[in-house]
Each structure stands twice: as structure tokens, then as C-alpha cells.
Structure 1
């Protein structure tokens, strides 16, 4: 499996969630305590690309999450490596490769930034499945709630919650 190494530890992920709850705790309903934390590996179809604009040529990689189609442009300094045995839960892919989604996400990203929009040209290469690390925090006993923390940047990622829940539901069917 191709993967990116996590940059944020389990304790850092817990600390991030606790800090945010401290800030917002007075405004929101108190949440149940965290009962478990596990590392989850979320599958993304990842496409190398070349973006031509009126000002430059940019090479990079765009990743499209396989359940909700969420997109992310990967930082250039991210190292991708192959690993057979991983710690944590490897989520199953939700959909097959779709270069059209990658093209559309990248085009609209460039469209928002480029003034001479007629000069945008995107070349998307065939993709590969890449697993991105997240910390999944579970709360509650009867009604379990999850929080996803990106293990690359340490930020809580509410948009990833639905994707993780869909993958868990697909596994139980």
C-alpha cells in the first residue's frame, strides 16, 4: 500500500481536540469523553498533474477522497512510501479512479486564482491509491460520535467524518 507517514502523534491529536473543546466548551453542549483513539488510513485517488497558467507551469499531485470526493492538493515535501504492514485501520476504497473529478477540482482551484482564465490548461496523469493518515477519536457508549484529526497537519477535519462513517458502514454490510 502507498501511504504518507503521519506527522502528528496520538497525544497531539488528543491535545488538539481538548484545546478546541476548551475554547468552544462554554458555547456548545458538553461532549462525552473520548473513549478510544485509533489511527485510520483514508484512501485517496492521487493524480500527478501539470497546470499551465499565463504566469507559470506547476507540477504537483492532487488527491481525491474515495467516498465524498473531497479534494486536497498535496504539499510538495510529502514523501510517499510503500508499506505492507501498518498500524491502525485501513479504510476500504469507496469508488474507483475518476480523473474527471481530479481535473475539475484542480481547474476550479486555478480558476479562482488566475486572472487570465482562458490561459488555464490542466494535464492529469493516471492515478494511484494513496492512504492518508487520520486519528479517529471515538466518544460515548450508546451513541458513538467520532472526530477525525488529520495526522499530517493536526487539524480537526469535520468533512472527513462522513467518509469515515460511510467506510465503516460499507464494511459491516
Structure 2
């Protein structure tokens, strides 16, 4: 099976800036009233594995099929429709690649595509989704380690620079699986 790495766009300095902005937002300031402040003590780049499915979506209302890619995170099955502009490169022996969990789950990908299409289509039975090929896609994340009374992590998507709070459990599970 082919494997690729999604192009990293955000550098370490930008990731640190995003984490500091996140710590200074209103909710985080309010939480500090009840907990001691947490300081960024370390940051590292890791690559979380996703199953990447190339698909073709057809509907009776469309002349030509739509082709695209959808990614399904291998631990908790978070999904994302990938933009056509996304840049990939073949993997090399990089130390920051975390191991995938389980096998490909095309039904999760198909459901994501189906519901994305359903928001535009009125008749669900007219939608057909075909999975064309499967690969492993490694998505880069900057992981900031915060220390206060406890240790916590904040993930910054290195492809777009945004804080991704929803991926935290998957990252922790992947890191723990790799350390075994």
C-alpha cells in the first residue's frame, strides 16, 4: 500500500504563536482563575496516520462524476475531505511517523462523502460513491506540551496552523501505542 506525507506549511515558531494565542483566549483565561497557569515546556512535530481514500461520487443530477480524497484518522476515525490543492510527497524513513491502527475503513469514508454530498442533493438514493484506491496519509501536527499542576498537550495542525482540540485523544492514543 502506498504511503504519503501531507506537506507541512506551518513552522515551529508559528505553532508556538498559535498555542500562546490559544492560551490567551477568553475561555483559557477564565479557566486559569480555578487552575494554576500552564507553561509551554516543549514542542515536537509528529505525523498522525490517516487512511486516505480516493473516491468518485455520482448523482443523477450531475453530468460528470466528482473525484476527490477523504482521510479517516486510524485511531478514532475522525474524517476530513481533502482539498485538491493539498500537497503530498512519498514517505521516507522519518522518525516522527506514528504507526497506523487497524485496517482501512472504507465504510467510514463512504459515509463522510455520502453526508457531504447529501447536504447538496435532495434524493439520497440518487447518490453513488465508489472508493477507487486506498493509501496511508501522514498528517503533520505540532504537539505542544503544557505543564502546570498537570501535563497537557495542545495540537496545532501543521498543514494549516489551526489548533485542533478534537484530535487530542487520537494523538495521545497513537503516542502511547508507539511507546509500547
Same fold (TM over 0.5): yes
Q: By how many angstroms is 1:106 displaced?
A: 1.1
Residue number in structure 2 paired with 1:27: 30
Residue number in structure 2 paired with 1:37: 43
Matches within 5 A, 1:1-173: 1-24=3-26, 25-29=28-32, 31-53=37-59, 54-55=61-62, 57-86=65-94, 89-140=96-147, 143-173=150-180
Taking a change above 3 Å as real, the CA distance of residues 75 and 161 of structure 1, as seen in their structure-2 partners, is same
**1:18-70 C-alpha deviation (Å, 9 max, x unpaired):** 11222224322254111111001010000101111324621110000000000
Taking a change above 3 Å as real, the CA distance of residues 140 and 110 of structure 1, as seen in their structure-2 partners, is same
Stretches of 4+ aligned residues off by more than 6 angstroms = none
Q: By how many angstroms is 1:142 displaced?
A: 6.9
Q: TM-score, normalised by structure 2?
A: 0.87
Unaligned runs of 5+ in 2: none
- Structure 1 CA distance for aligned equivalents of residues 99 and 151 of structure 2: 21
Q: By how many angstroms is 1:141 displaced?
A: 6.8
Unaligned runs of 5+ in 1: none
State the number of aligned residues. Answer: 172
Please say if residues 48 and 61 of structure 1, whose CA atoms lie closer than 8 Å, have aligned partners that are also in contact.
Answer: yes
